[in-house]
């Protein structure tokens, strides 16, 4: 049974609430007014602990709502969470409230405040609407994540230089740091209207995912019944009995995923089921089902491809593509091709990639390099997973499950057309030859 269920007409979403102590209680109070949610609140005090706090709950939460863009960006860029992520933006109403507080408590002119997070034009437009005509000289806008230290340094330096009288920050950790330094600081808290708007989006997303779970999925499996044979298995009757046992295991497995089993030729079978059923048994398309779940078939599976589609025909085509990718990835590999053409796998392996076959730009690069679009897409996904555009041939070979010689050929072809350059050398073994490290430009 999926964690996200339908109860009557209400979907139940296990919603992770992640944020600072002063904003999380308000966000939780709003979320708990909706019957759709079971809330899992998590408070953080430092940006460095965000991933460590998220990781243990990654498989227990359907969606995440963050109190601001910094923790949201840290988790999104980590790539460790597949669940939908949302954050509450600090919209105009939030800033209005903070500016009123600064004016009435300390009569500080807007031009003597330093701001972060917002774009300059956003603040100016807000003031124009209020009929306030003052310059906004000090704004530190940033995209994605940022450290509390960097923001507090920005505000504190301006204040020590006598250019400002106080700071306006959207980041709680920066707020606490500036208070320790003795600087006047005002914290912008999320507005209730902004929280409610994001919650409505989360509910619509949950409804969409519920419909998505009902999509048709096709699982294409090739098995080797002789894997279970003993040295005494000689007769055709013995082989037939082994094949029948394998078929019986597949029938029981098909029942577990609420699907129907069809033969697709010697040793090949197709199971028609739903996206939600396969998502559940593979833990969100991350792992291969346990030996018990597959009726002890794991040693007999040569390759498995899962296809998702809007129709049975489309799902079967995608399953065929996934099956071919699984065959290329080694014995026992499971791969998935989703309805948007994205490829994921091998499931359950330490090196698990998710990539698309790309658009026109990658196809043009494929023609230019002589490499396939699939190879370039894999390479792009590998570099994103590693968080760097530098790699050497043995590392690439390990990720792609190819021999180092083939990996060197790929890197040489990229270098030939100007899409890679030698950035240095590494020598993992003192007596071995140095290995070239390539910097890739995709």
User: 181-229, pLDDT tens digit by residue?
Assistant: 999 999 999 889 999 999 999 999 998 888 888 899 999 999 987 765 6
Where do we find the tokens 């679009």?
A: 373
Torsion on CA atoms 160, 163, 169, 173, rounded to nearest 10: -10
Long-range pairs for 121-126 at CB < 8 Å and ≥24 separation?
Answer: 122/92, 123/95, 126/92, 126/95, 126/96
Both tokens of 417, joined, read 């057309």
pLDDT, residue 5, reads 53
Q: What pLDDT, in 10s, does the model give residues 317-367?
A: 999 999 999 998 888 999 999 988 889 989 988 778 887 766 667 778 888
What mean pLDDT value characterizes the chain?
Answer: 88
The arithmetic mean of pLDDT across residues 237-259, rounded, is 87
Domains and CATH numbers, the chain: 5-88+192-211 (3.40.50.2300), 92-187 (3.40.50.10660), 214-355 (3.30.70.270), 360-440 (1.10.10.10)
Question: Can you give the pLDDT at residue 43?
Answer: 96
Half-sphere CA count of 268, side-chain side, radius 13 A: 12
Asked whether residue 44 carries a pLDDT value surpassing 60, the answer given is yes
The pLDDT tens digits for 138-150 are 999 988 788 999 9
State pLDDT tens for residues 166-178: 999 999 999 999 9
For 267-278, b where at least 16 C-beta lie within 10 A, e where not — what string? bebbbbbbbbbb
Q: What is the mean pLDDT of residues 382-410?
A: 88
- Per-residue pLDDT band for 10 (boundaries 50, 70, 90) equals low
* Stretch 398-405: mean pLDDT: 87
- What was the pLDDT predicted at 232? 64
Model pTM score: 0.63
Asked if residues 36 and 13 have their Cβ atoms less than 8 Å apart, the reply is yes
Which pLDDT band holds residue 233 (cuts at 50, 70, 90)?
low
Q: What's the rounded mean pLDDT across residues 252-257?
A: 92
Q: How far is the C-alpha of 67 from the C-alpha of 287, rounded, in Å?
A: 31
Q: Could you report the per-residue pLDDT of 257-283, keeping only the tens digit for each?
A: 999 999 988 889 999 999 999 998 998
Helix (H, G, I), strand (E, B) or coil at 426: strand
Which residues on neighbouring strands pair with residue 140, listed in sequence order? 116
User: Does 84 or 236 have the greater pLDDT score?
Assistant: 84
pLDDT of residue 231: 61
Q: Is the predicted pLDDT of residue 4 greater than 70, yes or no? A: no
- Phi, then psi, of 353 in degrees rounded to 5: -110, 150
Gap between the Cα atoms of 249 and 243, Å rounded: 10
């Amino acid at each position: 049974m999926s964690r996200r269920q339908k109860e009557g007409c209400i979907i139940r979403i296990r919603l992770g609430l992640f944020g600072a102590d002063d904003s999380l209680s308000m966000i939780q109070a709003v979320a708990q007014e909706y019957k759709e949610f079971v809330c899992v609140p998590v408070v953080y005090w430092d940006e460095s602990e965000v991933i460590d706090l998220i990781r243990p709950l990654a498989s227990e939460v359907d969606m995440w709502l963050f109190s601001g863009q910094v923790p949201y960006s840290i988790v999104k860029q980590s790539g460790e969470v597949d669940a939908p992520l949302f954050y509450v933006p600090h919209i105009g109403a939030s800033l209005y409230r903070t500016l009123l507080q600064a004016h009435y408590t300390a009569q500080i002119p807007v031009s003597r405040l330093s701001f972060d997070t917002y774009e300059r034009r956003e603040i100016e437009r807000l003031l124009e609407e209020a009929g306030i005509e003052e310059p906004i000289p000090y704004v530190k806008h940033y995209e994605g994540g940022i450290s509390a230290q960097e923001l507090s340094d920005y505000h504190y330096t301006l204040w020590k230089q006598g250019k400002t009288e106080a700071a306006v920050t959207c980041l709680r950790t920066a707020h606490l740091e500036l208070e320790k330094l003795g600087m006047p600081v005002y914290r912008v808290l999320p507005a209730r209207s902004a929280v409610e708007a994001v919650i409505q989006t989360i509910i619509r997303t949950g409804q969409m995912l519920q419909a998505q779970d009902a999509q048709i999925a096709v699982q294409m499996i090739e098995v080797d019944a002789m894997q279970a044979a003993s040295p005494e298995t000689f007769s055709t009757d013995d082989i037939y009995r082994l094949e029948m046992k394998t078929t019986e295991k597949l029938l029981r497995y098909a029942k577990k995923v609420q699907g129907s089993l069809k033969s697709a030729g010697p040793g090949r079978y197709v199971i028609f089921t739903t996206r939600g059923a396969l998502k559940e048994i593979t833990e969100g398309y991350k792992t291969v089902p346990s030996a018990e779940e597959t009726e002890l078939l794991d040693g007999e599976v040569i390759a498995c491809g899962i296809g998702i589609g809007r129709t049975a025909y489309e799902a079967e085509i995608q399953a065929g593509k996934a099956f071919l990718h699984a065959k290329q990835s080694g014995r026992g590999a499971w791969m998935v091709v989703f309805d948007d053409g994205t490829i994921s796998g091998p499931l359950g392996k330490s090196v698990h990639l998710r990539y698309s076959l790309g658009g026109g730009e990658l196809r043009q690069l494929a023609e230019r390099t002589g490499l396939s679009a699939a190879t370039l897409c894999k390479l792009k996904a590998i570099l994103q997973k590693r968080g760097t555009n530098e790699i050497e041939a043995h590392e690439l070979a390990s990720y792609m499950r190819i021999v180092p010689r083939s990996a060197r050929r790929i890197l040489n072809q990229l270098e030939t057309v100007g899409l890679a350059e030698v950035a240095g050398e590494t020598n993992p073994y003192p007596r071995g030859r140095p290995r070239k490290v390539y910097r890739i430009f995709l």
